Amino acid sequence: MELHMNPFKGRHFQRDIILWAVRWYCKYGISYRELQEMLAERGVNVDHSTIYRWVQRYAPEMEKRLRWYWRNPSDLCPWHMDETYVKVNGRWAYLYRAVDSRGRTVDFYISSRRNSKAAYRFLGKILNNVKKWQIPRFINTDKAPAYGRALALLKREGRCPSDVEHRQIKYRNNVIECDHGKLKRIIGATLGDLNP
């Protein structure tokens, strides 16, 4: 007989309240104090530091369990890839991101450099983490030459199917460009640091 520990055992609040708070924080990028105020309006009096502990405890597990949803095989949308400059633990770095056409995160990678080697590592990481049938037919990027070089090398190595088409049309990448603004609001709400 296998015993499963209840991850909410010993908590002073119901499981649903904890999950709501963690979801709202992760999805909408609001501060812990704003979330404390929102919960108080709904009759739940909880301190912002408690919400912080919930996010630290439950967000990684939620992400792990929801990863299957982000990569739903019945919905092979094109991937949109781009990088943005963010502060990580007080230092500036490039955050490479891939999202599908609906804005759902496929994967991300943090690098100190913005070059072909970083793009190659990012694309290689994604391709290692998905099944062959999950790879879309189209990958959209901006006009940065690094992605084209990285994809060509991955195709030569046999790690990327040769029929994957790389599209570098600026307006096609609006999905991720708009998403960067949302991401920066979330980072701003967490005092400007993104911990990988």
Q: What is the pLDDT of residue 37?
A: 94
Q: How many angstroms separate the CA atoms of 168 and 160, rounded?
A: 18
One domain, residues 167 and 95: yes
DSSP 76: -
Q: Are residues 123 and 173 in the same domain?
A: yes
In this prediction, residue 1 carries a pLDDT of 39
In a domain, 131, yes or no: yes
How many independent structural domains does the chain possess? 2
Is residue 106 located within the same domain as residue 142? yes
Q: Are residues 64 and 92 in the same domain?
A: no
Q: Final residue of a domain: which of 70, 90, 112?
A: 70
Burial label for 106, CB within 10 Å (0-12, 13-18, 19+), is buried
Domain containing 39 equals 15-70
Cβ of 61: how many Cβ atoms within 10 Å?
Answer: 11
Same domain, 139 and 179: yes
Question: 88 and 166, same structural domain?
Answer: yes
Q: Does 137 lie in the same domain as 178?
A: yes
pLDDT number for residue 193 = 46
pLDDT at 119 (0 to 100): 94
Same domain, 88 and 183: yes
144: domain CATH number is 3.30.420.10
Alpha helices in the chain (DSSP H): 15-28, 32-41, 48-70, 116-129, 145-156, 174-189
| Domain stops at, among 50, 70, 90 | 70
Q: Tell me the three-class secondary structure of 112-154, residue by residue.
A: CCCCHHHHHHHHHHHHHHCCHHHCCCEEECCCCHHHHHHHHHH
Does one domain contain both 64 and 85?
A: no
Query: Within this chain, do residues 61 and 154 fall inside the same structural domain, yes or no?
Result: no
Q: What is the pLDDT along the chain (196 residues), one digit of tens a residue?
A: 345 567 777 777 888 888 889 888 887 778 999 999 998 988 889 999 999 999 998 888 887 777 665 555 445 688 988 888 877 777 888 888 888 877 778 888 888 999 999 999 999 999 988 888 888 889 999 888 999 999 999 999 999 999 999 998 876 666 666 665 556 555 554 444 444 4
Q: Are residues 45 and 135 in the same domain?
A: no
Q: What is the pTM of this model?
A: 0.57
Which residues share a beta bridge with 80?
99, 140
